[in-house]
A = this chain, B = another copy of it.
Amino acid sequence: MYFTSEKSEHGVLERDFTLGEITGVLWTPESPSPADTSEPAPLILMGHSGGVHKRAPNLVTNARYFVTECGYSVAAIDAPGHGDRPRNAEDTRWTEQLHAARAAGEPMDAIIAEFNLSLAARAVPEWQATLDALQALPEIGPDAPVGFCGITLGTVIGMHLAAVEPRIQAATFGSVFVFDALFEVAKRITIPLTLDIAWHDEEIDRQPSFALFDAFASQDKLLTARPGRHNQMTGSTPGFSAWFLREHLGR
């Protein structure tokens, strides 16, 4: 893992990094916790929406909140073909198909499912390698409890990660376009989690989200809904995710 840039602002140290082909960013407290703190600060992995990148404005707002209000570390990586990463021919084809279907008012379900599954299959080992590298940093360490926050594509990737990676101890998911393959993934997830839906989402129906919520094997799960359309919910604050993850990760 190589840090390629560094800036410090309002108590938050923000560093870009690369790890092989992966491009990411790490936010940590400017003033590390005192050495005598008995428990390591939790680490939050954040998964961005499809079509944007590791520095999507909402993601950055949430990341900075976790650092300044909770003293946590936060990392985000670009999904394959997103942000600072080159897009391969197959991803380009899927993206063009999505744009064409949206413009023509045709269903996008099958394309989203296939595209998201392919991205998740590639992103899971990338997140695992990133987590290895982050835990090797002295300011994070191997014992930091780890949580995942994701929306839309970030939820699909985070679900696949949480299903196979025992280091993920709690998660907040949201606004996910639900397709059949996700139900089998949800059945393998047992960690405490929340599933957030936009109550007036014009792109994602409520019923499949309810069914996905039912499918999670987690005992401790919480469904939340806020008024608003897709990615335009009112009253949304980073405080909710922070509250939930703090209940399960500590500090």
Contact = CB atoms under 8 A, between A and B. Distances in A.
Interface string A162-193: 00000000000000000000000000000010
A221 interface: yes
A227 B221 contact: yes
A223 B199 contact: yes
A239 interface: yes
A219 interface: yes
A233 to B, nearest CB: 10
Contact of A224 (B219, B224, B227): B224
Contacts of A19: none
Interface string A222-251: 111111000000110101100100010000
Contact of A243 (B226, B234, B239): B239
A90 interface: no
Interface residues of A, number: 19
Interface in A44-90: none
A226 B222 contact: yes
A226 B235 contact: no
A39 interface: no
Nearest to A206: B210
A225 B226 contact: no
A209 to B, nearest CB: 11
A199 to B, nearest CB: 7
A222 B221 contact: no
Contacts of A213: 199, 225
Given A192-B235, A239-B243, A222 B222 contact: no
A220 interface: yes
A197 to B, nearest CB: 9
B225 A222 contact: yes
Contacts of A223: 199, 223-226
Interface of A: 192, 199, 213, 219-227, 234-235, 237, 239-240, 243, 247
13 contacts: A199-B213, A213-B225, A219-B234, A220-B234, A221-B227, A222-B224, A223-B224, A223-B226, A224-B224, A224-B225, A237-B247, A239-B247, A240-B243
Given A223-B223, A240-B243, 16 more contacts: A199-B223, A213-B225, A219-B227, A219-B235, A220-B234, A220-B235, A221-B235, A222-B224, A222-B225, A222-B226, A222-B235, A222-B240, A223-B224, A223-B225, A224-B224, A243-B243
